[in-house]
Structure formats: C-alpha cells, structure tokens
Amino acid sequence: MPSQFDPASGTRDFLGADVERREHVFGVIRSVFTSYGFEPLQTPAFERLDVLMGKYGDEGDKLVFKILRRGEHEASGEADLALRYDMTVPLARVTAAYGSQLPMPYKRYAMGPVWRADRPGKDRYREFVQCDLDTLGSASPVADAEVLCAHHDALAALGLREFSIQLNSREVLAGLLESFAIPPEIGPSVLIALDKLERLVPADVVAELAERDLDASVAGELVETLTAPDATDRLRVALKHSSAGTSGLDVVDGVLSIVAGQIPAERIAFTPRLVRGLSYYTGPIWEFVTPRAAGSIGGGGRYDHLIEQLGGQDVPATGSSMGIDRLLPLLPDEEGTPPARLDVAVTAMGSELASEPFDLAASARAAGLRSSVYLGSSGKLGRQLKWASDSGARWCLIYGEQERKAGVVTVRDMRSGDQAEVPVQELSQYLAGLAGQDS
Amino acid sequence: MPSQFDPASGTRDFLGADVERREHVFGVIRSVFTSYGFEPLQTPAFERLDVLMGKYGDEGDKLVFKILRRGEHEASGEADLALRYDMTVPLARVTAAYGSQLPMPYKRYAMGPVWRADRPGKDRYREFVQCDLDTLGSASPVADAEVLCAHHDALAALGLREFSIQLNSREVLAGLLESFAIPPEIGPSVLIALDKLERLVPADVVAELAERDLDASVAGELVETLTAPDATDRLRVALKHSSAGTSGLDVVDGVLSIVAGQIPAERIAFTPRLVRGLSYYTGPIWEFVTPRAAGSIGGGGRYDHLIEQLGGQDVPATGSSMGIDRLLPLLPDEEGTPPARLDVAVTAMGSELASEPFDLAASARAAGLRSSVYLGSSGKLGRQLKWASDSGARWCLIYGEQERKAGVVTVRDMRSGDQAEVPVQELSQYLAGLAGQDS
C-alpha cells in the first residue's frame, strides 16, 4: 500500500546497490557509443511549453508534465514549461540553436530521464531512462549500419544473450503496397494491421485488413507473402516492378553487407513484416527482440525529414533508441553486480577522538579499497565486528591498546576469521596484496 | 539575444566536450565518496507537492517549480507535484519510507540536478547540479570528520588548488552569546550580523549589531574578540564558563585531531566568526573557501534534528554539500579535458556499401580507440582527410584499391603527415602500439 513517504506515483527511489548497477550499465553503453565517435548531449529537464506541445500528437500531448508559471502568474493556473518527454524534440531544438557550430555529421547520444504522465503499471513508469543514439547529416546507409552496430555492440557488451535484430525498410513496405495495388489512402491503415503479425495469427490479420477496406483476396495474398517460410524470396519477386521497393531492398541488402563483419549473421535478418509503429520513418527500420521479453527491447530507423518538422534543420537522420528500464531485468545477474558497501571496516577501540583508526582507513583507500571507520557509540569489539559484517566488509582492521604498543594492526579476514598482525606502515601495501589475490 | 531555440531561461544545453568534462568531475567525486563507504541515493526529479512545501521557508517555497495536475484536473490550475529543490528533503522522505531497511549509520551521497525558480544571472541557474554527502545515525565527531575529509579529498582529487576549510561549531557560537550575556531573543539576529565579518569591516558589523539592539560596548567587545589576531585564544578564555561553549570547543578540537593525518594543517583552521547562514545546524559547521572565488565553494555541518523536522526519522546527522557549477570554473584546465571526438578516422573510398572500412573502424575500437568511418557523400580523399582533421582524429586510415589488392591499410599520422602500410590483420595491434607511445 502506498504510504505518504513513497515516491510520487510512477517514480522510484534507487538505493545504493541499484544505483551502482544502473550507473555501471550506463557506463558500458556510454563507452561503446563513445568508441564509435558519438558524443554526448545533455539538454535541460524542462523545455519551454511551446517547444514540446503539438509534437507528439493529441495522445502524447496529454502525457506531457507541465510546469505552472511562478510568482504573480501562478494564480493564472497556466503552464509555461514542460518536462522532457523524449530526446528527439530537444535534439531538433539543439540543431536549430547551434546550427553550424555542430560537427556534421552530428553523431550524438543522449541518455537520461524522460517523463510521461502515463498510467503507472508493471514496468511502466512516469520517470524512466531513455537512451538515444542518432546521426544527423548523413544520407548514407553506412550511417544506418553504424547506429545499428553501436546499439548491437552495447547490448553485447552488457552481456545480453539471445537477442536478434529484425531489419526492414519503409521503402520496402511502400513497394509492397504498390505491388499489391493497395489504394494509397488505406496504405497507413494496412501497415498498422500488418504490424500485428508479430502477435496475432495470420487469419486474424487478414480479417482486420478486410475490416480496413482491403479486398479480402488481396489481404489473403499479402499476409501469405509475408508469413510464408520463403517470405523474403517471394517479396523480392513481388517488388521487382516497384522502384521504391527495389531501392529499399538495395538499402536493406547494403546495411546487411556492411554489418556482416560485426554482427553475427544469425543475429540479424531481413524481416519484411516489420512495420514499426511510428509514421515518420523514411528508410531502413529495425527492432531488437529477445525471446525473453514481449515486444521489442529497442529499435530505430532512418527519419529524414522529422528534425525539420520538429523545428530543427532539414537534415537526413538515422537513430536507434533503447529503454534502459526494459533492458535491466534482462541482463545477466553478474553484469553490474555492485561491490559490497565496504571492503575494509576499521574498528575504533579507545578514544573516539583518536586519529589512528581514521588514518588506517585512509591507508586502505590508498590501496584502492572502500573503507570506513566505525561511527557508532559502542566500545565493544563484538558490536563493532557485527557492524563490519553487516557492511559486507571483506576485511576488518582491529587496532586496540596491544596493537598500538606494538605498532601493528590486526587484519581480520571476515570470511575465514583468520587474523594477521601487520606493521602499520605496511598496511596499504599488504591490503593491496590481499585485494589482488581476491580478484 | 535569446532566440526561440535557446534552452529555457536559467537552463543550459551541454554539448559533447562539456558533458565529458562534467561527467569526469562527477566520476572523480563519486569515486572518492565511494572509497569512504558512502553509497549513492537517487530520488525522482519530482516529489508530491506536500512533501516539499513548507520546508524551505516562505522565500524558498516561492522558488519551487510546481507541476500542473493532468487530464480532467488540468483546468483547475492546481499543482500536485514539484521539482526537487534540494537533496535533503528527499533524504528525509527516504529515511521515513525505508527505515530499518537502510544501513545504520546510513552514509549516502546524492549528486544530480535540482531546480529553483531563482532569477537567472551570472553563475546562477534554475537547473544546477547539487552534490550532498551525509551520514545519518551517528552522533560521533568521527562522522563529522569523515564527511569533512571525504569532501576535502574530492576537491583535492579534482586538482583544486588554494582552498581551505573554516571550522567552527554552533555550540561555540551559543557559548559566545552566553559568555557575552546576550539576551537569547536577539541571539539569532546577532549571529546573522556576525556572519558579515567575512565581507564587512568590523566597524560596520559593530554598527549593525547596535541596530539589532545589542549594547554598543558589548558589540564592540564581541567583534574585537572575534577579529583579533589571537581570536581563538581569547575565545577559549571567554568560553571557559559556558558548558555549551566548552563542549563545542572540545568537538572542534576533536575534529581537528581526527583529521590531522589527512588534511594538511595549513588547510583547516578553527574560525570562531564562521556562522553559516542556515539555522538548523546543531554542532560543528564548516565552509570550504578559496581566494579565487567570493563566498564559499561548499560547506556543511551537523544538523541533529532536521531530518525529523522534514518528515523523516529523528536521527543525528551530519553532512557536507557542494555546488558543482561553482566548482567547475575553478578546476585546473587539464582536469577533465576530454579527449578528441575521434582517435581514428576511417576514409571510405570505393563502394559505400563495402564492409571493409567498417571492419577497420572495429579493429581500431578493439584497440581501445574512438573510431568512425566517413559518412559523407564525397568520394574524394582530400575531402575525407579534411573531415578526419576536423574530427580531431590522431590517425586516419586510408583503404583504396591499391591497399585492397595488397591486403594492407595505410595509417596516416594526422600530426606529422607520415604514412605507414600495415597488414589488415595486424591493424588493431599496430594502433594499440601507437596509442601506447602517445600516452
């Protein structure tokens, strides 16, 4: 039951280990994208309201969090700012604002929270991390291939297993409609129905196509072509007389040949029935899928005029996007398992104002270890050892009257219980040695 | 002049090199805090309105960005959520929400944007990064010393030069008021005036104290005591008969002795005139100052009952806070200078759909280098070399018809113009060697 102390509906608090795991994943992704020469872009959490409104359709507009005007204007009940809803509209604004100061092509990634006032549910949040990778200013299929490969490499670097890439092209789909002589006015509606081949049986899609005013025999033939075991071969034949279709096929084949050295062949396939919901794509489109999750775990494509429509420059563009919150539960457990809170716990016997325990902790840090002194009020070793154990510490340092006199510190292995006396001035080196054996 | 494409007033876009510099700084700070056993906490960008309101005083409340209700409630003009204003109120909420699930003491840091609807100005933003480090659940001066040291070490690790720490205690100040027999009702007002000793001449502060109903001779003596060359010695004498004062002095001396091995003595000093504006401090207080900037660049202190007042548990607490945006301009230039966008630029002569340039870039990445293929439309080597140069690439790979036949790639040093032919299968190792010589 939600309490008054829970975070606001649809948002989450991330405590220590969760933050470390997430930051590790962000770091791996950043490092792959950077290795491809993509640079980061960070835009503010909020934009002026007029920058966002009207960009996401009526349904999307309703999900934008709006910020009330302030001061004397607060009483008006009007908003003048709104929280970032995606990474694409801010990108369009940035291209308009910085123009020729940006490198061309402009290869950028953006990773950070976006906010949508969706009804919260299982795995659906109002604050979630979006990660987008885009290249603006190149019409070359090499740019599509590069984005696709960088996205692929990031998932591979995260240790994701059993994922694959479905590749198609909007031009192939346009050619398909043309080849089947489907009236242009019902084209978009037909594509929406075909998109459901992923989760409906073919007969249901045929029925839905008929409902959308497509001739029943054409609908049957279309679905048959797309779902046959030799679908891609049939499609190649069907598209022979469509220039859009032929050009789309060439680009799909081009992307496949460019990535052939980097993406294992069994992990990527031309998938003619892939439609990808959003209407703004103009060239290749792709989705990353895994048998371990319904729907896609990321995807993208070429969207050559969208940036201009969103208020930016008219540049060719291609990009890929992943929702980190969908991805995290699929990663192997060992990936990003954070280290324990402490490596070395330092007990503090005797005067609380003594600097020695503090200096011992500093020696452990100098060895690259996480270390803290005991901050509680108990002078009992047993209580302090329990704290060390609760902290997950691998080693505990004991420094009492006896050690002080002898100029040593007792290093206790918290797993085995073994103890060794180490001269204070050799502590850092000794701990570094232990840590080296451990890793 | 602001354009319609600028980010919203008081916010900033961060492009490639700026993001990398900032992320580097964040990383250094995180790493120091983690080495002390502090764990990260990330709370959402917004909280329910009732969690934030009434916590920052009337002036603070006005600066909170409020989020309009949505859907059918939008027309009400009311807010139900608000953007995070600091890291302390969310921390209080988290202690109330997670209680005994948190380790005790709970040592956490929080680093992220906060939002305040202040009038934007030079170095004053509406979205800025706050970094807080706090220990909850320990009343020991060791906890104060640890927070102070971790903050100190973070600045030192960032290469900040010429900074020092002023240390005082609220108990010392209370003892001071007691010793000078200052009526309790004007005590807070007297402290506010004394806080100005940092930037006003003593006579002006004496005048202000008199305005605040302090007897003129007492005011003169008080200021004299605090500004004399032997101020700390005089204070020790003056505080002898105040139990709060004596106890405060003991804690100050205790903190100084605990940190003595870690913080150079010339960098930290008992500073009796330090008041630190906020009224909630209960024990030691400190500020980090540098001759290179007016005011403080961070600070903190013990605040034993604040968390309860803010809606959390009643726990002793101590913490330190730094504003990253104030800190960044003070760091040495070499700190966090990001690498160039690219290390290795790969030209693409011949077919745009060939996979070889793409594979060469992958070989460079395998050597740990940032690498990208040419994505433009020109087939001319000169144009492609210009792109390589504009990208800041250290090396450029040339792979034309001649190289293809010979199974080699030409590696061009973009600084010297020297070129070498390298067998394709040895490229990764060869580049790793070059990079090793370079660093």
Q: Are residues B324 and B386 in the same domain?
A: no
Residue B51, C-beta contacts closer than 8 angstroms, at least 6 positions apart: B82, B89, B90, B93, B311
Residue B379 pLDDT > 90, yes or no? no
> Residue B148: which pLDDT band, with cuts at 50, 70 and 90?
very high
Q: Which residue has the tokens 């775990």?
A: A297
Question: Which pLDDT tens digits describe chain A residue by residue (439 residues)?
Answer: 567 899 999 999 999 999 999 999 999 999 999 999 999 999 999 999 999 998 888 888 999 999 999 999 999 999 999 999 999 999 999 999 998 889 989 999 999 999 999 999 887 899 999 999 999 999 999 999 999 999 999 999 999 989 999 999 999 999 999 999 999 889 888 988 988 888 889 999 999 999 988 998 999 999 998 888 888 888 889 898 899 999 999 999 999 999 999 999 999 999 998 988 667 899 999 999 999 888 889 999 999 988 888 888 889 999 999 989 889 989 987 665 667 789 999 998 877 778 899 999 999 999 999 999 999 888 899 999 999 999 999 999 999 889 999 999 999 999 999 999 999 999 999 999 999 988 7
CA-nearest residue to A41 within chain B is B15
CA-nearest residue to B34 within chain A is A370
> Chain B within 8 Å of A340 (Cβ-Cβ)?
no
10 Å Cβ neighbour count for B29? 24
Residue B277 pLDDT > 80, yes or no? no
> Do the Cβ atoms of B69 and B98 come closer than 8 Å?
no
> Residue B1: which pLDDT band, with cuts at 50, 70 and 90?
low
Q: Can you give B297-338 as a three-state secondary structure string?
A: EEEEEECCCHHHHCCCCCCCEEEEEEEHHHHHHHCCCCCCCC
How many Cβ pairs closer than 8 A exist between chain A and B? 303
Best A20, A375, A391, A425 residue to mutate vs chain B (most B CBs within 10 Å): A375
Could you say which of B330, B352, B370 is where a domain stops? B330
pLDDT of residue A2: 63
With contacts defined as CB-CB under 8 Å, which chain B residues touch A73? none
- Tell me the CA distances in angstroms from A100 to A12, A43, A352, B295, B392, one per residue in order: 39, 18, 61, 38, 17
CATH number at residue B303: 3.30.930.10
With contacts defined as CB-CB under 8 Å, which chain A residues touch B13? 41-44, 94, 97-98
> Chain B within 8 Å of A267 (Cβ-Cβ)?
no
> Chain A within 8 Å of B406 (Cβ-Cβ)?
no
Closest CA of chain B from A394, distance in Å: 13
> Residue B2: which pLDDT band, with cuts at 50, 70 and 90?
low
10 Å Cβ neighbour count for B110? 25
Q: Would A398 be classed as within a structural domain?
A: yes
One DSSP character per residue, A370-384 reads -EEE--SS---HHHH
> Do the Cβ atoms of B113 and B128 come closer than 8 Å?
yes
Domain that holds residue A395: 344-438
Distance CA A310, CA A28 (A): 30
Element housing A290 (H / E): strand A284-290
pLDDT of residue A113: 97
- Tell me the CA distances in angstroms from A259 to A28, A56, A105, A289, B358, one per residue in order: 21, 32, 20, 18, 8
Q: Are residues B232 and B277 in the same domain?
A: yes
- Would you call A139 and B377 a contact, using CB atoms and an 8 Å cutoff? yes
C-alpha dihedral (A243, A246, A252, A255), degrees to nearest 10: -80
- Would you call B7 and A262 a contact, using CB atoms and an 8 Å cutoff? no
pLDDT of residue B351: 73
pLDDT of residue A46: 98
CA-nearest residue to A374 within chain B is B142
- When CB atoms are compared, the residue of A16, A43, A262 closest to B362 is A262
Q: Are residues B290 and B354 in the same domain?
A: no
- Would you call A40 and B20 a contact, using CB atoms and an 8 Å cutoff? yes
> Do the Cβ atoms of A372 and A388 come closer than 8 Å?
no
Q: Would B335 be classed as within a structural domain?
A: no
Q: Are residues B45 and B127 in the same domain?
A: yes
pTM summary value: 0.92
List, for residues A102-154, the tens digit of each pLDDT value: 998 999 999 999 999 999 988 789 999 999 999 999 999 999 999 999 999 99
List all residues of chain B from 363 to 382 with a beta carbon under 8 Å from chain A.
Answer: 365, 368-377
> Chain A within 8 Å of B138 (Cβ-Cβ)?
yes
Closest CA of chain B from A92, distance in Å: 9
Could you say which of B306, B330, B354 is where a domain stops? B330
- When CB atoms are compared, the residue of A4, A16, A362 closest to B39 is A16
> Do the Cβ atoms of B284 and B144 come closer than 8 Å?
yes
Q: Are residues B161 and B294 in the same domain?
A: yes
CATH number at residue A378: 3.40.50.800
Q: Would A387 be classed as within a structural domain?
A: yes
- When CB atoms are compared, the residue of B20, B105, B390 closest to A375 is B105
- Would you call B103 and A341 a contact, using CB atoms and an 8 Å cutoff? yes
> Do the Cβ atoms of B189 and B177 come closer than 8 Å?
no
E-only strand ranges, B41-120: 46-48, 66-68, 79-83, 106-115
With contacts defined as CB-CB under 8 Å, which chain B residues touch A373? 142, 146
Q: Are residues B383 and B313 in the same domain?
A: no
Distance CA A172, CA B3 (A): 40
Distance CA A172, CA A386 (A): 66
Question: Nearest to residue A227, comparing CAs of A266, A249, A189, A199?
Answer: A199
Q: Would A426 be classed as within a structural domain?
A: yes
> Residue B334: which pLDDT band, with cuts at 50, 70 and 90?
low
Q: Would A391 be classed as within a structural domain?
A: yes
Q: Are residues B323 and B397 in the same domain?
A: no
Q: Would A368 be classed as within a structural domain?
A: yes
Q: Specify the number of domains making up chain B.
A: 2
- What does residue B58 show for φ and ψ, rounded to 5 degrees? -60, -45
List, for residues B163-193, the tens digit of each pLDDT value: 999 999 999 999 999 999 999 889 888 988 9
Q: Are residues B348 and B409 in the same domain?
A: yes
CA-nearest residue to A376 within chain B is B138
- Would you call A39 and B16 a contact, using CB atoms and an 8 Å cutoff? yes
The percent of residues above 90 in pLDDT, for chain B, comes to: 72
> Chain B within 8 Å of A421 (Cβ-Cβ)?
no
> Chain A within 8 Å of B425 (Cβ-Cβ)?
no
Q: Are residues B394 and B253 in the same domain?
A: no
Q: Are residues B232 and B85 in the same domain?
A: yes
- Would you call A143 and B375 a contact, using CB atoms and an 8 Å cutoff? yes
Q: CA-based angle A116:B323:A341, to the nearest 5? A: 75
List, for residues B222-273, the tens digit of each pLDDT value: 999 888 888 888 888 989 889 999 999 999 999 999 999 999 999 999 999 8
> Chain B within 8 Å of A284 (Cβ-Cβ)?
no
Q: Would A380 be classed as within a structural domain?
A: yes
Closest CA of chain B from A68, distance in Å: 6
List, for residues B35-90, the tens digit of each pLDDT value: 999 999 999 999 999 999 988 888 889 999 999 999 999 999 999 999 999 999 99
The percent of residues above 70 in pLDDT, for chain A, comes to: 98
- Would you call B39 and A20 a contact, using CB atoms and an 8 Å cutoff? yes
Best A67, A127, A399 residue to mutate vs chain B (most B CBs within 10 Å): A67
Could you say which of B302, B330, B358 is where a domain stops? B330
DSSP one-letter code for A5:
T
Q: Are residues B227 and B374 in the same domain?
A: no
Closest CA of chain B from A431, distance in Å: 14
Distance CA A192, CA B385 (A): 45
Q: Would A354 be classed as within a structural domain?
A: yes
Q: Are residues B265 and B219 in the same domain?
A: yes
> Chain A within 8 Å of B324 (Cβ-Cβ)?
no
Within 13 Å and on the Cβ side, how many CA atoms surround B89?
Answer: 24
